[in-house]
Amino acid sequence: MIRRTCIFILALAAPLPAAAEFLIAEGGQPRATIIVADDAIPAEQYAAEELQRFLGEISGAEIPVTHAAADAATPNLIVLGNATGGYPGDQSSFGNEEFHLLTEGRSLHIAGGRPRGVLYGVYELLENDLGCRWFTTEVSRIPYQERLALPKLDRRHAPVLEYREPFVWDCYDGDWSARNRMNGNRATLDERHGGKITYQGFVHTFNALVPPEQYFDAHPEYFSEIDGERRKDRTQLCCTNPEVVHLVTEGVRQWMHDHPEATVFSVSQNDWFNYCECDQCAALAAREESQMAPVLQLVNQVADAVRDEYPDKVVDTLAYQWTRRAPKTMHPASNVVVRLCSIECCFAHPFDQCSSRPNKEFVKDAEAWKAVGARLWVWDYVTSFSNYLVPFPNLRVRQPNIQFFIDHGVKGIFEQDVYQTPHGEFSELSGYLNAKLLWNPDYDVDTAVNEFLDAVYGAGAPALRAWLDLLHDHTEREGTHVNIWVGPEARYLNDELLAKGDQLFEEAEAATADDPAALERVKIARMCIDYAQLERTRNMQRALYEVDHSAFTVTLRPDFRARMDRFFNTAERSGFTTIREMNGELATYKQNFAGFEADRTLTPVAAAEVVPQHRGLDYASYEGAFEELPDFAALTPVKTGHASAISLRYATTLDGVGLRFTGYFHAPADGVYTFALRSNDGSRLYLDNALLVDNGGQHKMETQSAVIALRAGYHPMELTFFESGGEEGLELYLEGPGIDYGKISPRLLARD
């Protein structure tokens, strides 16, 4: 475990003129008293505790807290809320997170709205006026001051964003979130923190509100009609059906009754396509020039029905993928929040400065939602969900993107990050930077990054800053577009860049050799370089092994073994558990390396006694709702023929499709061959009637490989593939005697 670290900095500023200062402590002795009302809410009581704690850490003095008016001998009062009734303004006018810092006479007022205003006012004072920082749950900066005094204050502030959530594991802690003034659903923010924005049914709730297993058999008309047939599996709702409107309304009303603590209730599409094409839904979508129209009509009807009974509740829906475009004339109801999602975008360039078509289209959609007056929140993305540790050059676009959102009327932002495990690629820095910008969109990014690196990585900070700059400079120079499924094979992650990264992390480790806590954090951060290098090389024979083709022996290279051992030792020691969003358990990922023994002698497989007459392979294409690789022998293909290469161009569709290639692989010479099968979704490679590479299951683009010794000649080969929906890909790579690593050449494929 990494122990909690607090950094104390001696700050000996010139004393303020007595008439202008508000003295809190001097020489380790209190010169002020904190006063909080007897009937203060829990968040105001906690504000007093937090203020006392951190003023004590700053000054070495125990500042007293009282619930009664101080006697005349007390020179200064820090008044929380309306404890004395002396605040000159009207606190009832404050928003629920608004505060006012005001020195008047012998009092410093920290006034604010309920439930979080006073607490946020305390953290504002501690951070902006006294220099405190809460970088991670384990590392803070509390600047020591021998004489603690404040100038005259008169500062009132309300956050521009009503909902602020850095959705990252490392930032779920309630105290960290409150101190950085985040109010998101996932953080453990309780009553003492002033609560939070609480969801019931966070997202993709159609099936939860109208379960197909409960209703479809009796009422297929409740669900999507596609190509003239109602669908039960991977379906959406028929949003124009009045009975569906009734069921969803009653479901939301029940949620509101059962969960009075919740503030937002989601009525949102399932996480796939298959929207309803019935006559009513299709006509409304055509009239409004958006598939959002039927969904928004449903959501508005639900919101209208519950508004009077639950005036403080909000109904939420997604503008996501097929619903992202705003309808032409429809407007969201006043108690509806629309969450606009940026999932298709490039995240290496600011949305409104990027040349990619997805970003240009997203900007148009944001402008359209602003035009219809939506209460708009955003679901944004700041990591690769296929590779939580891949270096992701996204830090520099955070501020311009958040400012773009606010300029387009956005009132809430959810930044989806590495949410399933601690210690994704610079996750704690990512969460901290997001917090600073969600609270203050104009916060200086370099200040945030440099202060964080200095505090968390100590003497290793300059090398890590150099790595982050190198990564971002290189990506900008290359003009590379980066989506949220990017992997270590991305063009911007070339061998030269990663080699420089290795060197910089070596420097950081050397610099922190005498600081065990900082050194451990540097080693955790280095996992991103090690992961990228392992993934780029684990399927490449020349990077893995010293090979003797004549003796059919392979010897694992020591540098690969050292990197592999370092990566898994650090990951397991640190508590890192998940390599990607779907099917990403670290223990499962580690199995990819289980066969890398130091020395192996392989038994060569004899070639078949055949001489195929044609180049290429036979193929068969199948269609169906596949969720795994089927038994193709039991299915009837839609189409068969001859393929000149392994390619998806032979598939009859790209969603709900299966492919089977059969024929022979021609080994030009005796030796050791490496086959790497890359696909989205699942695939398998059989050679000489035995399974060689298993890349099955539903997943994003992923590579699995195997090594085999072959005698020269023809070897029976079968490759199977399926795609359930969304993005797709299929590639087979080869390396062997006289063959450099690359896509398998069509001239090595044969059929009868």
* The CA-based dihedral angle spanning residues 705, 597, 578, 724, taken in that order and rounded to the nearest 10 degrees: 20
Of residues 439 and 106, more confidently modeled: 439
Q: Are strands 410-416 and 545-548 parallel, antiparallel or unpaired?
A: unpaired
Q: Does residue 725 register a pLDDT over 60?
A: yes
Q: What is the pLDDT of residue 302?
A: 98
Q: Does residue 13 register a pLDDT over 70?
A: no
DSSP conformational letter for 726: S
Q: What is the pLDDT of residue 307?
A: 98
Q: CB–CB of 677/734 below 8 Å?
A: no
Q: What is the pLDDT of residue 10?
A: 34
In which residue ranges of the chain is CATH 3.30.379.10 found?
5-158
Q: What's the average model confidence in pLDDT over 437-445?
A: 98
Distance of CA 331 to the CA centre of its chain: 30
Q: CB–CB of 117/96 below 8 Å?
A: yes
The whole model's pTM is what?
0.90
Q: What is the pLDDT of residue 74?
A: 63
What percent of the chain lies above the pLDDT cut of 70? 97
**Architecture of the domain spanning 5-158:** 2-Layer Sandwich (3.30)
Q: Compute φ and ψ for 219, nearest 5 degrees.
A: -140, 70
Give the relative orientation of helices 461-478 and 445-457 as an angle to the nearest 10 degrees: 140
Confidence band, pLDDT 50/70/90 cuts, at residue 69: low
DSSP conformational letter for 591: G
Compute the C-alpha angle 77/79/84, nearest 5°.
Answer: 100
CA separation for the pair 150, 211 (Å, rounded): 59
Q: Does residue 458 register a pLDDT over 80?
A: yes
Q: What's the average model confidence in pLDDT over 303-307?
A: 98
Task: Render pLDDT for 369-427 as a digit per residue (tens, 0 to 9).
Answer: 999 999 999 999 999 999 999 999 999 999 999 999 999 999 999 999 999 999 999 99
Distances (CA, A) of 341 to 334, 377, 380, 581, 726: 20, 9, 6, 18, 16
Q: What is the pLDDT of residue 11?
A: 36
Q: Does residue 452 register a pLDDT over 90?
A: yes
CA end-to-end distance (rounded Å), the chain: 61
Task: Render pLDDT for 182-204 as a digit per residue (tens, 0 to 9).
Answer: 999 999 999 999 999 999 999 99
Confidence band, pLDDT 50/70/90 cuts, at residue 6: very low
Q: What's the average model confidence in pLDDT over 44-72?
A: 90
Q: Does residue 15 register a pLDDT over 50?
A: no
Structure token pair of residue 668: 């030009």
- CA torsion sign for 310, 328, 269, 407 is negative
**Architecture of the domain spanning 602-751:** Sandwich (2.60)
Average pLDDT, the chain: 94
Q: Does residue 72 register a pLDDT over 70?
A: no
DSSP conformational letter for 84: S
Give the relative orientation of helices 427-439 and 398-407 as an angle to the nearest 10 degrees: 30
